[in-house]
Amino acid sequence: MKVSDLVTGLVLLAAAIAIFAYAQTFPAIPGQPYGAGAFPTVVAVGLGAFSILLAWRGYEARRRDGGQQKLIALADWTRTPGTGANFLLSLVLVLVYVLLSDRIGFIPLSIGILLVLFWRTGVRPVTGVAVAVIMTLVMQVAFADLLRVPLPRGILDRVLW
């Protein structure tokens, strides 16, 4: 997604104003004139000032090319059905992992996510299944057993070593 600097600048300016306003509600350190709000205020002022500069440059650039560049333009790939769907799918799969891994566990979810992506990107089924299973087990052994990262055990809790 290509967004004109004018739009980005204005959005960031709005964010800076919101941060500034919220920061004024933070309490001071007891016995001191400043506190939690001081640093976010400084950051908000800096971000706001430079966003105005960015928006101004975007505006200048548009004026120079006579407004030919769109304010917001979708990249070409979003209009190709396959690639656009893959983009969303990757995001959704990570989200699925966040929501379900505690219940289902690392091993089944990892195999599942890999298989879906392999299928979408045209990996041959036999290769895909083999790679998904082997690499998931490698990760389980390397991280959970050797490095002791508590990967969620999920439905395999009682089966796993």
Site for another protein in 115-134 (CB under 8 A): 117-118, 121-123, 127-128, 131
Query: Does 63 participate in binding another protein (rule CB under 8 A)?
Result: no
SS3 state of residue 72: strand
* Least distance in angstroms from the C-beta of 62 to another protein: 15
Query: Does 156 participate in binding another protein (rule CB under 8 A)?
Result: no
SS3 state of residue 42: helix
Q: Which two tokens stand for residue 120?
A: 């979408």
Which residue's CB is nearer to another protein, number 49 or number 67? Answer: 49
CB 1 within 8 A of CB 74: yes
Query: Does 53 participate in binding another protein (rule CB under 8 A)?
Result: yes
Partners of 28 in the beta sheet?
35
CB 47 within 8 A of CB 8: no
* Least distance in angstroms from the C-beta of 63 to another protein: 18
Distance of alpha carbon 140 from alpha carbon 105, whole angstroms: 11
Choosing from 10, 17, 38, 133, the residue that interacts with another protein (CB under 8 A) is 38
Binding mask 68-107 for another protein (x = CB under 8 A): -------x-x--x--xx-xxx-xx-xxx-xx--xx---x-
How large is the greatest C-alpha to C-alpha distance in the chain, in angstroms? 69
Query: Does 149 participate in binding another protein (rule CB under 8 A)?
Result: yes
